[in-house]
Amino acid sequence: MNHDTGAILVLSGPSGAGKSSLIKKIEKEIGAYYFSISTTTRPIREGEVEGVHYYFVDREQFEADIEEENFLEYAKVHGNYYGTSIKPVKKALKEGKLVIFDIDVQGHDAVQKRLADITTSVFVTTPTLCELKQRLNARGTDAQEIIDGRIDVAKREVQRISEYDYLVINDDLDEAAAVLVNIAKAARMKIPSIKINEFVLNWEDIC
Amino acid sequence: MNHDTGAILVLSGPSGAGKSSLIKKIEKEIGAYYFSISTTTRPIREGEVEGVHYYFVDREQFEADIEEENFLEYAKVHGNYYGTSIKPVKKALKEGKLVIFDIDVQGHDAVQKRLADITTSVFVTTPTLCELKQRLNARGTDAQEIIDGRIDVAKREVQRISEYDYLVINDDLDEAAAVLVNIAKAARMKIPSIKINEFVLNWEDIC
């Protein structure tokens, strides 16, 4: 059975819900994957690394890439562009990798519209808003206005959980990781429509 | 995280594709499950056991059950009724079990319409029609006209694979079982809409 066609796992959910920790925890168990790095025009923040947290480009470059349809999805948030370049995603899919996206509900929507057949989506969140606030404050890395902004976004995004295939409530990290491993392994089994059509066409071959 | 809400795994695919062997192979790995037994009005065949292969009832009983809305789904095929009683399914879901259905594409359609939020569906088939014919003939249990009927049904059903979440090509039983285990484990993680709504409503609680 050929499953080397690649598939997509979308993770959304509030910053502070533990998406990165979860990925780190499950990466050895889920096989070859490519974690998609977004491109943005927002200024680099202290502690951020080019090519790790984001690819940082200027507005001219970003708009040229939009023009050339180089983005799988993009959005403007608070005056800054954020997007996913299509090229590395295509390459990783060709290599049979599980492409993992950490994107917001808008981005999820865009990916579903273009690649629903190979996409599995998961909303990761804290058990409560209260818990999210505590975690964001405890990190102590962000200014209060950034934390407040993240909380506003979280409140809006949580309303759209039902658009996702799965909800993972990250209360206990080990438990949540165990759940996510199962989802990620199954995500790999999604077969592109084009392969399904090929299979159906060839199914009735001659004995 | 409470996942004790039960979920549904629908298996469809030609008789002879190996659904029963697959279930037998994975049953120890997937946790508590309930394999749904269909009810039918067709005569019991040699080797079949009441309550194992089907619940056998007469037409009057079946039609009374339709009247009382006791079926999750039912259909008439070649003049005989086939259906899934809703009561044991509800009970198993309440017990947090994974309810496994071996039903046809019509049945899958009906289940998706009523319980999409907790349903994961898999189409299981042989790599080719040729291989299916060989397997059905090799079993030597069925009359040629029954085999021919199954092949006709298979040809029609394969055309509808794209309605399913996953396609499992049962070429090598061990490989196919490994795939199905992952899918079954993830299937359990589906949370009913009603629980999602409850979660969303309670998420913004007071600190």
Q: Tens digits of per-residue pLDDT, B137-164?
A: 998 777 898 899 999 999 999 999 999 9
The ipTM is 0.88
Task: Report whether A98 contacts A7 (CB < 8 A).
Answer: yes
Q: Which residues of chain B are within 8 Å of residue A161 when distances are taken between CB atoms?
A: 196, 199-200
Q: Within a domain: residue A86?
A: no
Q: Kindly report the pTM of this predicted structure.
A: 0.91
Task: Report whether A124 contacts A170 (CB < 8 A).
Answer: yes
Q: Within a domain: residue A141?
A: yes
What is the number of domains present in chain A? Answer: 1
Q: Within a domain: residue A150?
A: yes
Give me the helices (H) in chain A, please: 19-26, 59-67, 86-94, 105-115, 129-139, 144-158, 173-187, 193-203
**What mean pLDDT do residues B79-102 have?**
95
CATH number for the domain spanning A16: value is 3.40.50.300
Number of other residues whose CB lies within 10 A of the CB of residue B159: 11
Q: Within a domain: residue A168?
A: yes
Is residue A1 predicted with pLDDT exceeding 60? no
Interface of A with B (CB under 8 A): 1, 3, 125, 128-130, 133-134, 155, 158-159, 161-162, 165-169, 171-172, 175-176, 179, 182-183, 185-191, 193, 196-197, 199-200, 202-207
Q: Which residues of chain A are within 8 Å of residue B204 when distances are taken between CB atoms?
A: 128-129, 155, 158
Q: Whole domain around residue B141: which residue ranges?
A: 7-36+97-203
Going by C-beta distance under 8 Å and a sequence separation of 6 or more, which residues neighbour residue A8?
A93, A98, A99, A100, A101, A111, A115, A118, A119, A120, A187, A190
Q: For chain B, what is the mean pLDDT?
A: 93
Q: Within a domain: residue A184?
A: yes
Positive or negative CA dihedral for B124, B126, B130, B134?
negative
Confidence bin at A4 (pLDDT 50/70/90): low
> 3-class SS at A57?
coil
Q: Within a domain: residue B198?
A: yes
Is B3 in contact with A179 (Cβ distance < 8 A)?
yes
Q: What is the pLDDT of residue B2?
A: 44
Using N-to-C axis directions, what is the helix angle for A19-26 and A173-187, rounded to 10°?
70
Q: What is the pLDDT of residue B141?
A: 75
pLDDT in tens, A154-184: 999 999 999 999 999 999 999 999 999 999 9
pLDDT in tens, A100-157: 999 999 999 999 999 999 999 999 999 999 999 999 999 877 789 889 999 999 999 9
Is residue B22 predicted with pLDDT exceeding 50? yes
Confidence bin at A207 (pLDDT 50/70/90): confident
E strands present in chain B: 7-12, 33-35, 39-40, 55-56, 71-77, 80-85, 98-102, 119-125, 166-169
Name the closest residue on chain A to residue B175, using Cα atoms. Answer: A1
Pick from A129, A162, A165: which is nearest to B205 by CB? Answer: A129
Name the closest residue on chain B to residue A207, using Cα atoms. Answer: B130
pLDDT in tens, A43-77: 998 889 999 999 999 999 999 999 999 999 999 98
